[in-house]
Structure 1
């Protein structure tokens, strides 16, 4: 009886601690009357984040992408969702891999578009080209690193001085990097993509530490597989092993991760995700990044470590099953 009482008491205390932690850590965060920049904002998750900003009453919403026609269409859709007549939606055509053009675009926001301050930055652009390491050209590696990592670096470099110099909303400014669960758990087929997302994670973690005390919160998003044009293109080059490991997952609509990102920013989270599977991955692979509730982190960490043995066995088995076929294919490739 005493053991039962102690056990129940421990559970109640843990739940109370969790509730207190959530209340204590929650940010009084709002994007109303704020100015935000969203890369990759012409479609997919980026456009949906811009729509959420419009619904929150943001003052300025700057969407950046390369294709002008898609930017114009996205701008019109975002404007239809504005709840405030003061909201200004600005579409900027820019290749984020060109650091000179990026700096020019950011510096021109005030003179050309009347955006005189920047409060937050969402880095949502990116692309994946899966394939076998042996067969992929070095250009595939360079393209993805330039877009996914250096694109995020160039934009952050250009925007950060504007955010830091902004005297308004000192404790309500954000930089959100969109990475992938691949930065926590990668496997066959992603040798050219995973390093770029590990790099984005490294940049986000470093800045989270460096910007302490400056009123800027850094976040790292790992959205679930989403029904976007980019994911469709990614599937075109996925090896059969990659498809087998990934499984027939139900794709989310872009609005789902967009809403989850905004929700978790307001909960003052560093890691932003919308899947219990990712909760376990973060628990066992987040290193010394900011953690959530101590009690749940321990519980999820134990579950995640146990699950990792089975996941590793699954990944290894699938790769090994097709090893002979890959060997024949690679030999044919090398003998061309």
Structure 2
């Protein structure tokens, strides 16, 4: 089907958070190869330097890429990072802001500390929301007709056991993106939210170290693609003007059951996905619930071994009035 390319990065200023690894790094390289001026932001100074060398090597028009080290879970730091990026680009406001920063540390809700729950939300929601807030203010005040691209996740549509420290923030990003998609129509700023599934990256390897066994079982056999392939899916979606680009068929099926009243992607494909999802998604959910129930015994045994359960005497005492 013919379409007008709605994403042409050559000569544009692209600002990428989480740009030193995974999707952010792959996206930065792709954009530089397509003639964009790129500034990446991340915490790790060593990986930033490595990525800057990569971007310099793949630049096709001799563009100078910039790297900034910052903790983007802070509003002050997020504002300062964007201001520094603009200063390094002669005061120019970014044309495209890609919000790729974040991390996942899956665990059961009963096992998570209050600090881990707060950190999980900071590292999935605020790490993007603060930069989006700073970028929107700059775009509006400078009358820049730019784009904000959030990165959520498959579990930003639907979730399951093990993602209590990750999924809520990804859902919240959808709420923010849906709101801004409407609100930014006032200012000619487009908003998108990418919903990837598994990405084969250092972050994915790290999250699997502590991931509950039931979570691994549910995800067994799921598609996991390279950051480079994931970046291509995102760019393809932006070229077609999709509000919610995806990279996996199952994600599209769940999208049709979960997207609310936001714009669809492709009318023909969305119709097909909607028909299939009406049967397929409930079946997937029932299979997932059955898998969770099969782990009741092993989870109970683990909690018992760790002394998590109250003794019989304590249980009786807590119910006495």
What TM-score results when the alignment is normalised by the length of structure 1?
Answer: 0.87
Equivalent of 1:311 in 280, 284, 291: 284
Equivalent of 2:17 in 36, 39, 42: 39
Alpha-carbon offset, residue 131 of structure 1? 1.1
Choose 283-292 or 245-254, whichever is displaced more: 245-254
The answer as to 2:45 corresponding to 1:68 is: yes
- In structure 2, how many angstroms separate the alpha carbons of the residues matched to 1:113 and 1:211? 24
Alpha-carbon offset, residue 214 of structure 1? 2.2
What are the ranges of 5 or more consecutive residues in structure 2 without an aligned counterpart?
Answer: 311-321
Within 5 Å, give how 1:8-27 maps onto structure 2.
Answer: 19=1, 23=3, 26-27=4-5
Alpha-carbon offset, residue 44 of structure 1? 1.0
Alpha-carbon offset, residue 114 of structure 1? 3.1
Deviations 1:145-196 (A, max 9, x none): 112101111111111122234456x3xx211100000011210111121101
Structure 1 match to 2:203:
230
User: Does the aligned pair in 2 maintain the 1:135–1:333 contact within 8 Å?
Assistant: no
The answer as to 2:218 corresponding to 1:245 is: yes
Alpha-carbon offset, residue 29 of structure 1? 2.7
Structure 1 match to 2:271:
298
In the alignment of these two chains, the number of paired residues is: 309
SS at match of 1:271: coil
SS at match of 1:334: coil
Structure 2 match to 1:90:
66
What are the ranges of 5 or more consecutive residues in structure 1 without an aligned counterpart?
Answer: 1-18
User: Does the aligned pair in 1 maintain the 2:223–2:248 contact within 8 Å?
Assistant: no
The answer as to 2:253 corresponding to 1:280 is: yes
Alpha-carbon offset, residue 292 of structure 1? 2.4
Structure 2 match to 1:5:
none
- In structure 2, how many angstroms separate the alpha carbons of the residues matched to 1:269 and 1:110? 27
User: Does the aligned pair in 1 maintain the 2:245–2:265 contact within 8 Å?
Assistant: no
Within 5 Å, give how 1:37-186 maps onto structure 2.
Answer: 37-58=15-36, 60-85=37-62, 87-112=63-88, 114-167=90-143, 170=145, 173-186=146-159
Cα separation, partners in 2 of 1:324 and 1:40, compared to 1, 3 Å: same
Alpha-carbon offset, residue 206 of structure 1? 0.7
